[in-house]
Amino acid sequence: MKSYLEKLTARKSLTQPEMEEAVSKIFSDEISDSEIAAFMVGLKTKGETVEEVAGIVEAFRSNSRAFGRKFTGVLDNCGTGGDGSQSFNISTTSAFVIAGAGVTVAKHGNRSISSKTGSADVLEELGVPLDLSPEKTEDILEENGIAFLFAPYVHPKIKRIMKVRKDLRIPTVFNLIGPLTNPIDLDYQLLGINRADRLELFAQVLKKLGRKRAVVLNGAGSMDEASLAGDNQLVILKDGEIVREIVHPEEVGLSLYENSEIIGGDAKQNAAILLDVLKGKKGAYRDTVLLNAGIGIFAAGRADTIQHGIFQAAESIDSGSALDKLETLIHKSKNAERAVI
């Protein structure tokens, strides 16, 4: 670790294998909290490369619980958080709509860190247990087309990193990589990020990680979700090429709403919003989900355009398919084999 800290202090980048080794050492408990903090700050000060971020992600995944079954065509639509918007659980609600449109979704998430309610909080409120065994999670993913992976359970070694990250009180790349560390092998990804200046970096990382298609976006108002308040910046990975696009809600058939109109609350309130959307209630919450789910369906290659993806998202809700995905997840999870967290 000393040699890696010296390299970072000298503003020299680590190779991907070096980064994988360094982060694996952190997981091994051989390294002190002060060394972890120095590593995080040194990397932030130097500026992260694509290879370094990919190395961190691979180290996280290789130190996660074993999810050994191979799937094809799987998407995750987890965002980084940290945008301070206090919005309802947009990506979680959208995940069921995307699944209802026929895309297999391995939804990776956590409890609330920077917002009022995280994906785990709202799903737990709805009756989804967080401590399913990897085998049962894979069964549900195969049978239902959507399953939830609770980050602290699937990554049992991250407690020290989380503690140091919290103690530092300054954001580093470790605040942003959570959505990349899903232990299920993904073909597709919708990644929302609250940093517009990191869009292309993370698109390049997704390319290096082997995603077939992906969208990395920053919403109007610097949200880590697509927003109805104005222009959304997208970086699209498709056929090995990376292109930028601006998506305005009115250009894809949706109305404008201020971000203040999609504020959520505690787990109980956000669960009610999620159910209202999946049951077809009209308004800003639904349209926000349509936009995000539409982009997710597009990212998975199920739609040629985002507008076509939005049409499929509306059909997923209005047909009852999205709500059925949630109800089936709750039913299959309740009597499932449990694990000790």
Instruction: Indicate if 78 and 56 belong to the same structural domain.
Output: no
341 domain residue, yes or no: no
The pLDDT tens digits for 188-242 are 999 999 999 999 999 999 999 999 999 999 999 999 999 999 999 999 999 999 9
Q: Are 236 and 212 in contact (CB under 8 A)?
A: no
Instruction: Indicate if 166 and 49 belong to the same structural domain.
Output: no
Q: Are 290 and 307 in contact (CB under 8 A)?
A: no
CATH number of the domain to which 33 belongs: 1.20.970.10
pLDDT of residue 113: 65
For residues 151 and 131, what is the distance between their CA atoms, to the nearest angstrom? Answer: 10
Which of 62, 89, 115 is a domain's end point? Answer: 62
Report which residue type is found at 100: G
156 domain residue, yes or no: yes
The pLDDT tens digits for 282-319 are 999 999 999 999 999 999 999 999 999 999 999 999 99
pLDDT of residue 86: 86
For residues 91 and 80, what is the distance between their CA atoms, to the nearest angstrom? Answer: 11
Helix (H) or strand (E) holding 290: helix 284-299
Which residues constitute the domain of residue 36? 1-62
Write out residues in the chain with pLDDT < 70, as ranges.
113-115, 336-341
Q: How many domains does the chain have?
A: 2
Annotated binding site: 79, 82-83, 87, 89-92, 107-115, 119, 165, 224-225
Mean pLDDT of the chain: 94
- 230 three-class SS: coil
67 domain residue, yes or no: no
Instruction: Indicate if 35 and 120 belong to the same structural domain.
Output: no
Residue 216 bridge partners (DSSP): 191, 235
Annotated binding site for 5-phospho-alpha-D-ribose 1-diphosphate: 79, 82-83, 87, 89-92, 107-115, 119
Kindly list the distances between the CA atom of residue 96 and the CA atoms of 83, 87, 159, 166, in Å, as whole numbers in the listed order.
23, 18, 29, 31
The pTM (predicted TM-score) of the whole model is: 0.95
Structure tokens at 241: 């090429």
Annotated binding site for anthranilate: 79, 110, 165
For residues 300 and 322, what is the distance between their CA atoms, to the nearest angstrom? Answer: 17
Q: Are 286 and 277 in contact (CB under 8 A)?
A: yes
Structure tokens at 266: 């505690």
Residue with tokens 């000298």: 10
Kindly list the distances between the CA atom of residue 7 and the CA atoms of 11, 29, 101, 165, 261, in Å, as whole numbers in the listed order.
6, 21, 48, 21, 47
* Longest alpha-carbon distance in the chain: 58
Residue with tokens 């409890």: 111
Instruction: Indicate if 32 and 93 belong to the same structural domain.
Output: no
